[in-house]
Amino acid sequence: MSADLSEGPIDPPIHPEIDVSVVTGTLNRLRLLKPSIESVRRNGFSGKLEIIVVDGGSSDGTVKWLAQQRDIFTIVQPNYKIAGTGQSSRLAHSWGEFMNIGFRACNGKWVLMISDDLILSHGCIEKGFEMLERLGEHGSAVGAGAFFFRDYPRDFRYHVKRLPGGVVLVNHGFFLRAALKTIQYIDEHSFEFYAADGDLCMRLARAGYDIAPLDGCLADHLAHMPNYHRLFGKVAPKGAADFAAFEQRWGEPASAGSLVYSDCQPTDQAYRKLWRFAPIQCALSAAFGYYRRFSRLP
């Protein structure tokens, strides 16, 4: 089903029959979106689940494919480049604004935020959902749960990051929908992309919510193509402004935290599909991973 929310998304009440709303955004990456959605469909979740995809105006056949998927609620919000400060280009809608469209359209108690280039290990949705529900039953004010992930094939181990103050960062994982509504979702204006998820988690923690690292819930994220900035451990110019905004708000840089690694290994080989759908990107990322490992780059 496809919809154009030109008047802005409506914030529906929590649907009593939906346990988890899976939300992702995409733009011209159908070859990666398909296996990502497949890893959700075949994850083995026994509860009620809905899938919401916010498309940025794809021209590669993504919108046509999504319109044929009966189990996906598709929202088309074109996201195009415009001139920014100093005539540098930026997207018309920030990452936060784009994702909030999907968040506000959810019906479930829990919102599972994933990327369109993420492969979930089998069973991680069920496991994470049950862990968070148990924490709530035992009195924890849990507002989110972070999947352990790796940038595959560059990284060898799964991890979550802790932000300043020990706050767990949710790169991919669950958010309690009521908690998102309480803090008014992602800050759409202070961050273009980088550090917006970190700011969201910091604001959840400030509002009194716990964020749980969900060990055993594993996800493989396709590593970005190596570029000059990543090669030498530097921050891209567009990211520098976002990280500066984070440090100004929270008093410490987002990098002040640490990584927490998992000893778990995936029980399936679904992540190998990334080699099939992005072989060149995987090969270059793997080479960069070995180079970074043996040259001790960050």
* pLDDT for the residue 86: 58
pLDDT at 2: 43
| pLDDT tens digits, 29-45 | 999 999 999 999 999 99
Give the pTM: 0.88
Per-residue model confidence (pLDDT) at position 191? 94
Walk along the chain (298 residues) in steps of 10 and give the mean pLDDT of each run. Answer: 45 71 96 97 97 96 97 92 67 89 97 97 97 94 97 93 96 98 96 94 98 97 72 65 95 91 90 91 84 64
- DSSP letter for 168, please: B
Q: Supply the pLDDT for residue 60.
A: 96
203, burial (CB in 10 Å: exposed 0-12, middle 13-18, buried 19+): buried
C-alpha–C-alpha distance, residues 229 and 240, integer Å? 11
Using CA atoms, how far residue 108 sits from 23, 26, 43, 111, 208, in Å, is 11, 21, 17, 7, 21
Question: 94-146: per-residue pLDDT in tens?
Answer: 899 999 999 999 999 999 999 999 999 999 999 999 999 999 999 999 999 99
- Residue ranges of domains in the chain, CATH in brackets: 2-295 (3.90.550.10)
CA-nearest of 56, 2, 68, 1 to 29 is 56
